[in-house]
Chain A
Amino acid sequence: MSAVTTPSMAARPAAPTVRWLAPLAILGLLALLPLATALGLPSHWLTLVTRAMIFAIAALSLDLILGIGGLVSFGHAAFIGIGAYGAGILITEGQTELLVALPVILIVCGIFAAVTGYVSLRTRGVAFIMITLAFGQMAFYFAQALSGYGGDDGLTLNEKSTLLGREIFANRTGFYYIALGTLAFCYWLARRLVASRFGRVLRAARENAVRVTVTGYDVDHVRLGAYVISGMMAGVSGFLLANQTDFVSPAFMSWQRSGELIFMVVLGGVGSLYGAIVGAIALLAVEDVLSGLTQNWKAIFGPLIVLFVLFTRGGIAGLMAKLRGSRDG
């Protein structure tokens, strides 16, 4: 960055073509993967990438408040857990219908987000990190105490969700495309939100909340709105996760899981939205490779995170932008 660069130029987002090209390329590649497995790529990949796309939805939702809103939430896994338990409890009670489960999950996640967000958003910065962490733990302990639904051991599901009685989640390739479709829809929604007036206020408040307030916008309302939308989106990923693993447990909402979600966002590039998708896939791929190597893979994975933070800035999206920048001169 040279001395003549003005702040407004530095803050300029990527060119529109790049902004659309990268996510389209990613989603396009993802759409072709089942073809590759049909041609001989190990089918283990299909399961892994489905799981990665489900986490990408959660990471994307986190990027909405973390990257766009500048609010580091450390309890985001709670929403995955609520979504998963929502599906799990309904299925255990004999209610597999998607059209029932989805609204229930969205409402419960929305209420949880509204209540915890209202309290958390009274604070900023580090206090916000710690409070969201504490609320995440609260959800974790609540799930542990659900002795009627597995408690500490978790809950095994004997059935998957259905749509109007049809078992749409049973087919592995079908499920892959459901996850991909949901991810694409969530990405589109997030993009639309960020481009809207709502998103612009959210972004502006990250830079200077006082100035935005003076302009006449209620920053707290916008932030809370983003928090609720983000929580609901993460709840959907929890619903899909329960259907993929046929199992839910309190570990879904452990604070380590929240940390992993943050790392996905940072790995891909904070605030770029598509970076969250790249980050989620990259992280799960690395975890998969490492855990295949050794049982003690976390002893390798931990230092990798430290090295990544120390030596890169802006994640994978940032690296790509840097490469583009140096090529442009």
Chain B
Amino acid sequence: MTTSLLIVQLLNGLQFGILLFLVAAGLTLVFGVMDFINLAHGVQYMLGAYLAVTFVGLTGSFMLGLVLALAAALLLGLAFEFLVFRHLYERDHLDQVLATFGLILLLNQAVKMIWGAAPLSVPVPEFLSGNVRLLDGILYPTYRFALIGAGLGVGALLWFVVEKTRTGMLLRAGASNAPMVSALGVDIRKLFMVVFAFGTMLAGFAGAMAAPILSVEPGMGDTVLILAFVVIVVGGIGSIRGAFVGALIVGLVDTLGRSSMNDLLRLFMAPASARATGAALSSMLIYLVMAAVLFVRPEGLLPAKGRS
């Protein structure tokens, strides 16, 4: 692999990691604060992408479509919270897993019925459509840089809200001991609603941002959900910092593994068997990393403080 290819793959890995972070942050936030395991987080990501397809198509403007898609994702999140999730806060994880699993089946099918089973796409917005020239004539798409920037921006905003604001203080307190926060006079139900809606919007944002570079299709959320799980297990459940570190590790390992495993194995294997083994190994690589991390640190790399 040449240096220029390595740089491009590193950027790809970074961009994939940022995307995973946006999904995993919402997932781990909801879990950390509400002790709620939301499998439907992946289909909320998918909905974000489909809403972007619709609204960008309707308005003809990427930015306007994105804003409308986020608003719609937020409304949907509130509707789910009202109809299903709020009845599950007190239940055990098994009930939460099952109910949100039912939602996945419904929403995957509903998306197929509304938008069809064929993959859709969103055009890359005009003002981000070019390439950025890196050193020595290496080109990298502007939109992917924008995605990395937007993800870092959202990450910084999230960090600021959670660590520096009053709401964030209540969130962290609620994550450690919800009944105590409630006893101090905070409306914990409202707090949960806000966290949940915000988490849904984060997933929707990730989906909408991914729409121009990935194909938008039913089931696209399921793959991302599993990867987001790996991310938060590696990073430490309930921890935003952990989600960030975990997402970058998973994004880079997965991308670099896929691009270099073949070459690596060819050093000591026949090309045909290297290709077959490489394909199998590279899809399993992040799970192997996860197993290794857990073997050494069962709590993840950066576990949230105050949780037992």
Taking Cβ atoms with an 8 Å cutoff, the residues of A that contact B are 66, 72, 74, 116, 119, 122-123, 125-127, 129-131, 133-135, 137-138, 141-142, 144-148, 255-256, 259, 262-263, 266, 270, 296, 298-299, 301-306, 308-310
Interface residue tally on B, bucketed by range = 35 or more
Flag if A119 contacts B98 (CB, 8 Å).
no
Which one, A129, A255, A302, contacts B93 given CB within 8 A?
Answer: A129
Find the A residue at minimum CB distance from B37.
A126
- Asked if B268 is at the interface of the complex by the 8 Å CB criterion, the answer is no
Flag if B233 contacts A305 (CB, 8 Å).
no
Q: How far is the CB of A312 from chain B (nearest CB, A)?
A: 10
Find the A residue at minimum CB distance from B93.
A126
Find the A residue at minimum CB distance from B106.
A302
State which residues 74-96 of B face A: CB under 8 Å.
84, 87-88, 91, 93-95
Given contacts A131-B294, A145-B276, contact A72 B94 (CB under 8 A): yes
Which one, B105, B110, B276, contacts A148 given CB within 8 A?
Answer: B276
Which one, A123, A141, A263, contacts B280 given CB within 8 A?
Answer: A141
User: Chain A interface: which of B10-18, B58-66, B147-155, B224-232?
Assistant: B224-232
User: Chain A interface: which of B134-142, B174-182, B282-290?
Assistant: B282-290
- Asked if B130 is at the interface of the complex by the 8 Å CB criterion, the answer is no
Flag if B294 contacts A122 (CB, 8 Å).
yes
Contacts of A130 in B (CB 8 A): 229-230, 232-233, 237
Not counting A127-B237, A141-B280, A145-B279, a sample of 20 additional A-B residue pairs whose C-beta atoms are within 8 angstroms of each other reads A116-B291, A119-B294, A122-B294, A127-B298, A129-B37, A131-B294, A133-B229, A134-B229, A134-B233, A135-B287, A141-B283, A142-B280, A144-B283, A145-B283, A255-B222, A256-B105, A305-B98, A305-B105, A306-B103, A309-B99
Flag if B291 contacts A119 (CB, 8 Å).
yes
Given contacts A148-B276, A262-B98, contact A134 B113 (CB under 8 A): no
Cα-based distance from A274 to B229 in the complex (angstroms): 32
Q: How far is the CB of B246 from chain A (nearest CB, A)?
A: 12
18 contacts across the A-B interface (CB closer than 8 A)? A122-B294, A126-B237, A127-B233, A127-B237, A129-B37, A130-B230, A134-B230, A138-B287, A145-B276, A148-B276, A256-B105, A263-B101, A299-B106, A299-B110, A299-B113, A305-B99, A305-B102, A309-B91
Taking Cβ atoms with an 8 Å cutoff, the residues of B that contact A are 31, 37, 84, 87-88, 91, 93-95, 97-99, 101-110, 112-113, 222, 226, 229-230, 232-233, 237, 276, 279-280, 283-284, 287-288, 290-291, 294-295, 298, 300
Flag if B84 contacts A310 (CB, 8 Å).
yes
Flag if A262 contacts B94 (CB, 8 Å).
yes
Cα-based distance from A256 to B279 in the complex (angstroms): 23
Flag if B97 contacts A262 (CB, 8 Å).
yes
Find the A residue at minimum CB distance from B288.
A138
Find the B residue at minimum CB distance from A144.
B283
Contacts of A259 in B (CB 8 A): 97-98, 101
Cα-based distance from A142 to B280 in the complex (angstroms): 5
Cα-based distance from A310 to B102 in the complex (angstroms): 11
Contacts of A145 in B (CB 8 A): 276, 279-280, 283
Find the B residue at minimum CB distance from A266.
B98
Q: How far is the CB of A115 from chain B (nearest CB, A)?
A: 9
Contacts of B94 in A (CB 8 A): 66, 72, 262, 266, 270
Flag if A302 contacts B283 (CB, 8 Å).
no
Contacts of B97 in A (CB 8 A): 72, 74, 129, 259, 262
Which one, A125, A148, A270, A304, contacts B102 given CB within 8 A?
Answer: A304
Cα-based distance from A296 to B91 in the complex (angstroms): 29
Cα-based distance from A126 to B299 in the complex (angstroms): 11
Contacts of B88 in A (CB 8 A): 309-310
Cα-based distance from A306 to B83 in the complex (angstroms): 10
Contacts of B112 in A (CB 8 A): 296
Flag if B229 contacts A310 (CB, 8 Å).
no
Which one, A122, A146, A309, contacts B298 given CB within 8 A?
Answer: A122
Flag if A309 contacts B233 (CB, 8 Å).
no
Flag if A302 contacts B104 (CB, 8 Å).
yes
Flag if A298 contacts B109 (CB, 8 Å).
yes
Flag if B290 contacts A263 (CB, 8 Å).
no
Q: How far is the CB of B287 from chain A (nearest CB, A)?
A: 4
Contacts of A262 in B (CB 8 A): 94, 97-98, 101
Contacts of B280 in A (CB 8 A): 141-142, 145-146
Most chain A CB within 10 A, of B95, B230, B232, B287, is at B287
